A and B are shown apart, each in its own frame.
Chain A
Amino acid sequence: MAALLRPARWLLRAGAAPRLPLSLRLLTSGPGWPHAGVCLPAPARPVSGGLLHPARLYAIAAEKKKDIREEPTSFKRAVSPFDWALMRLDNSVRRTGRIPKTLLQKVFDSTCRSGSPGGNQALLLLRSCGSLLPELTLTERTEFAHRIWDKLQKLGTVYDVSHYNALLKVYLQNEHKFSPTDFLAKMEEANIQPNRVTYQRLIAAYCNGGDIEGASKILGFMKTKDLPITETVFSALITGHARAGDMENAQNILTVMKETGIEPGPDTYLSLLHAYAEKGDIDHVKQTLKKVEESELYLMDRDLLQIIFSFSKAGYPQHASEILEKIGYERRYIPDAMNLILLLVTEKLEDTALQILLACPLSKEDGLSDFGSFFLQHCVTMNVPMEKLIHYCKKLKEAQMHSSPLQFTLLCALQANKADLAKVLMKTMKEEGSPVRIHYFWPLLVKHQKKKNIQGIIEVLKGMHELGIDPDQETYVNYVFPSFDSVKSVHTALQENGCLPKDDTLTQAELKSEAVNGNLDYILSVLESNTLSFSLNSFRTSLIQGFKRSMNINLWSKITELLYKDGRYCQEPTGPSEAVGYFLYNLIDSMSDSEVQAKEEHLRQYFHQLKEMNVKIPENIYRGIRNLLDSYHVPELIKDVYVLVEREKIDSRKTVQLKSSDLESTLEKLKAENQPIGDVLKQLILVLCSEENMQKALELKAKYASDMVFGGYAALINLCCRHSNAEEALNLKQELDRLDSSAVLHTRTYVELVKVLGKHGKLQDAINILKEMKEKDVLIKDTTVTAFFHVLNGAAFRGETETVKQLHEAMVTLGLAKPSTNLSSPLITVYLEKGDIPGALEAIIDCHAKYKILPRIHDVLCKLVEKGETELIQKAMDFVSHEQGEMMMLYDLFFAFLQTGNYKEAKKIIETPGIRARPSRLQWFCDKCITSNQVETLEKLVELTEKLFECDRDQLYYSLLKLYKINGDWQRADAVWNKMQEENVIPREKTLRLLAEILRSSNQEVPFDVPELWYEDETSVQNLPSALPVENDLHKDLLNACHWKRNRDAFNIFLKAKEQNVVFNPKTYKNLIKLLLLKDCLSQAEHVKKFAETHIKGFTLNDAANSLLIITQVRRDYLKEALTTLKTALDLKQIPSRLAVTRLIQALGLKGDIESIEAIQVMINGLENTIGLSEMVFINNIALAQIKNNNIDVAIENIENLLTSGSPPVEPQYFGLAYLFKKVLEEQLETAVEKISIMAERLANQFAIYKPVTDLFLQLVDAGKVDDARALLQRCGAIAEQVPIFLVFFVRNSGTEGKTATLRSLLELIPELAEKDIVYTSLMKSYVVNKDVTSAKALYEHLTAKNMKLNDLFLKRYAVLLKDAGEPLPFTEPPESFAYYAEQLKGSKEISS
Chain B
Amino acid sequence: MAASAARSVAALRTSINRPLAFVRKIPWTAGSNELREHFAQFGRIRRCFVFFDKETGFHRGLGLVQFSTEEELQNALQQENHIIDGVKLQVEAPRSKVLPEYQTSDEEKD
Contacts and interface: CB of A to CB of B under 8 A. Distances in A.
Interface of A: 403-404, 407, 411, 414-415, 437-440, 442-447, 474, 478-479, 537, 582, 620-621, 623-624, 627-628, 630-631, 1044-1046, 1078-1080, 1111, 1138-1139, 1142
Contacts of A438: 31
Contact of B102 (A624, A1045, A1139): A1045
Nearest to A573: B68
29 contacts: A407-B85, A411-B29, A438-B31, A439-B31, A439-B52, A442-B52, A443-B56, A443-B57, A443-B58, A446-B54, A446-B55, A479-B54, A537-B47, A623-B12, A624-B8, A627-B5, A627-B8, A627-B9, A630-B1, A630-B5, A631-B6, A631-B9, A1044-B101, A1045-B101, A1078-B105, A1078-B106, A1079-B103, A1139-B110, A1142-B110
A773 B57 CA distance: 62
A1391 B16 CA distance: 62
Given A438-B31, A1045-B102, A631 B57 contact: no
B46 interface: yes
Contact of A442 (B2, B57, B105): B57
A1112 to B, nearest CB: 10
Contacts of B100: 1044
Contact of B101 (A442, A628, A1046): A1046
A403 B9 CA distance: 46
A927 to B, nearest CB: 37
A584 to B, nearest CB: 13
Given A446-B54, A1045-B103, A1046-B101, A411 B28 contact: yes
B80 interface: no
Nearest to B55: A446
Contacts of A620: 12, 16
A359 to B, nearest CB: 24
A439 B57 contact: yes
Given A437-B34, A623-B12, A631 B2 contact: yes
Given A404-B85, A623-B12, A1045-B101, A444 B5 contact: no
A628 B8 CA distance: 10
Contacts of B105: 1045, 1078
Given A437-B34, A438-B31, A631-B5, A444 B57 contact: yes
Interface string B42-56: 000011000010111
B54 A478 contact: yes
B50 to A, nearest CB: 8
Nearest to A1043: B100
Interface in B34-89: 34, 46-47, 52, 54-59, 85-86
Nearest to A479: B57
Q: Which has the most chain B C-beta neighbours within 10 Å: A404, A414, A415, A442?
A: A442
A407 B1 CA distance: 54
Given A404-B85, A437-B34, A1045-B102, A624 B9 contact: yes
A412 to B, nearest CB: 11
Given A479-B54, A1045-B101, 18 more contacts: A404-B86, A414-B57, A437-B30, A439-B57, A443-B57, A446-B56, A620-B12, A627-B5, A627-B8, A627-B12, A630-B5, A631-B9, A1044-B102, A1045-B103, A1045-B105, A1078-B105, A1079-B103, A1079-B106
B96 to A, nearest CB: 15
A445 B57 contact: yes
Contacts of B32: 474
A1073 B53 CA distance: 47
Interface of B: 1-2, 5-6, 8-9, 12, 16-17, 28-34, 46-47, 52, 54-59, 85-86, 100-103, 105-107, 110
Contacts of B16: 620-621
A628 B110 contact: no
A973 B21 CA distance: 57
Contacts of B52: 439, 442, 478
A621 B103 CA distance: 30
Contacts of A403: 86
B29 A437 contact: yes
Interface SS, A side:
helix
A1035 to B, nearest CB: 19
B56 to A, nearest CB: 6
B49 to A, nearest CB: 9
A1261 to B, nearest CB: 21
Contacts of B103: 1045-1046, 1079
Nearest to B34: A437
Contacts of B1: 630
A1111 B86 contact: no
Nearest to A1296: B109
Contacts of B34: 437
A404 B12 CA distance: 44
A446 B12 contact: no
A444 B107 CA distance: 52
A442 B5 contact: no
A582 B86 CA distance: 37
B104 to A, nearest CB: 9
Contacts of B30: 437
A620 B101 CA distance: 26
Contacts of B58: 414-415, 442-443
B83 to A, nearest CB: 11
B12 A1111 contact: no
B35 to A, nearest CB: 11
Contacts of B85: 404, 407
B2 A407 contact: no
Nearest to B9: A627
A439 B34 CA distance: 11
A393 to B, nearest CB: 15
Q: Which has the most chain B C-beta neighbours within 10 Å: A582, A627, A1046?
A: A627
B66 to A, nearest CB: 10
Contacts of A444: 57
Contacts of A443: 56-58
A478 B53 CA distance: 10
Contacts of A474: 32
A7 B49 CA distance: 62
Nearest to B103: A1045
A493 B32 CA distance: 28
A628 B105 CA distance: 26
B57 to A, nearest CB: 3
A1080 B107 CA distance: 9
Nearest to B86: A403
B45 to A, nearest CB: 11
A537 B46 contact: yes
B6 to A, nearest CB: 7
Contacts of A407: 29, 85
A1138 B57 CA distance: 55
Contact of A628 (B9, B29, B31, B46): B9
Contacts of B46: 537
3 nearest CB pairs, A to B? A442-B57, A443-B57, A446-B57
A593 to B, nearest CB: 13
A102 to B, nearest CB: 15
A572 to B, nearest CB: 9
Contacts of A1044: 100-102
A768 B102 CA distance: 52
Q: Which has the most chain A C-beta neighbours within 10 Å: B29, B47, B56?
A: B29
A620 to B, nearest CB: 6
A411 B102 CA distance: 42
B46 to A, nearest CB: 7
A582 B106 contact: no
Contacts of B110: 1138-1139, 1142
Contacts of A445: 57
B5 to A, nearest CB: 4
Contact of A437 (B31, B57, B101): B31
Contacts of B9: 624, 627-628, 631
A631 B4 CA distance: 10
Nearest to A410: B29
Nearest to B107: A1078
